[in-house]
Structure 1
Amino acid sequence: MKKLTIIYWSNNGNVEVLASHIAKGAKDAGAEVLVKLVSEASVEDVTGADAVAFGSPSMDNNRIEQKEMQPFIDKFKLIPLNNKVTALFGSYGWDDGAFMNKWEIQMKDYEFNVIQKLTVNEAPTNEQLAQAEQMGKNLVK
């Protein structure tokens, strides 16, 4: 059984909704799933999983959340991850979602193998929720 860890930071609930649908997809595919707020997550939650998904809204200057999510991600700068299978998800409101491309570049620099991204404008549509579930399945194939 594959193990997926989903770690996220949510401000208005949109990222949390995506996290729950990613978890549902992975569970439907038979995986063991751990879902945590970034404030409760540990490095071992990432290193001990077969795959991981990170979620954050776009915040100031088209960046991921800076007080909790960015410092957590930075912990992996010097930890060998051997191309850990990863997905990134998030939401944006006032910008064009460019934060996701910046985030993907950083994650690849830290040896995460980003296989999928999902970015939604404000609240996810039903189609985007289905994409989130598929993301969960893809992560545990």
Structure 2
Amino acid sequence: MNAACLIVYASMTGNTEELARYIGKGILQAGGTVEIKDIIEADVTDLENYNGILLGSYTWGDGDLADEFLDFYEEIDGLDLTGKCAAAFGSCDSCYEHRGRAVDILSDKLVELGAEVVLDGLKIDLAPTDSEIEQCIQFGEDFVKNHFDLRGVL
């Protein structure tokens, strides 16, 4: 099993898309492979074809998952992600009470579906700063490292 990863994200302003791209860069730097898809282009069955899954969404309103992610979120209920490594990430705004709650919602769903969430959810306020860009790249590298540690093969 190799570190073939899929990143699926929803982005309204481009911030979460930017996070996805930097995380993808980290995955590549660590020796993994990655496909990055906007939620609109993704199909739930795509998740079955990768052994590393990263889901990203901005937090909307009072701690809600992005509207674009709702159908996908409901459709993945039938999947068995046992044996898959996973993580969640997203852009958020610390001005709101439930900062980055969409990341928590996605992490919980991944666990519910049997995936092994190998990293705490990454929450970045609005557009990433230079140091947060490095944090995103490191998140991707750490995802591959944790995947490798769990599976023993890259």
**Aligned partners of 2:110, 2:64: CA distance in 1, in Å?**
13
- Is 1:40 paired with 2:19? no
1:49 shift after superposition: 0.7
User: Counterpart of 2:27 in 1: which secondary structure?
Assistant: helix
What residue is the counterpart of 1:73 in the other structure?
A: 73
Contact 1:3–1:140 under 8 Å retained in 2: no
**Aligned partners of 1:17, 1:8: CA distance in 2, in Å?**
10
1:98 shift after superposition: 4.6
**Aligned partners of 1:25, 1:126: CA distance in 2, in Å?**
15
Candidates 111, 115, 119, aligned match of 1:112: 115
The farther-off stretch of 10-19 and 85-94 is 85-94
Alignment of 1:1-141 (within 5 A): 1-66=2-67, 68-93=68-93, 94-95=95-96, 96-99=98-101, 100-116=103-119, 117-141=121-145
**Aligned partners of 1:110, 1:62: CA distance in 2, in Å?**
22
**Aligned partners of 1:57, 1:123: CA distance in 2, in Å?**
11
Structure with greater proportional helix content? 2
Letter of the 1:106 counterpart: K
- What percentage of aligned pairs have identical amino acids? 28
User: Counterpart of 1:34 in 2: which secondary structure?
Assistant: strand
What residue is the counterpart of 2:152 in the other structure?
A: none
Letter of the 2:9 counterpart: Y
Letter of the 1:73 counterpart: Y
Letter of the 2:130 counterpart: N
Name the count of aligned residue pairs.
140
1:31 shift after superposition: 1.6
Contact 2:90–2:100 under 8 Å retained in 1: no
1:113 shift after superposition: 2.0
TM-score (normalizing by structure 2)? 0.82
Unpaired stretches in structure 2, ≥5 consecutive residues? 146-154
**Aligned partners of 2:70, 2:84: CA distance in 1, in Å?**
18
Contact 1:91–1:122 under 8 Å retained in 2: yes
1:24 shift after superposition: 0.4
Q: Taking structure 1 as reference, are residues 44 and 78 closer, same or farther at Cα in structure 2, changes over 3 Å only? A: closer
List, as ranges, runs of 4+ consecutive aligned residues in structure 1 with deviation greater than 4 Å. none
Q: Taking structure 1 as reference, are residues 61 and 112 closer, same or farther at Cα in structure 2, changes over 3 Å only? A: farther
TM-score (normalizing by structure 1)? 0.88
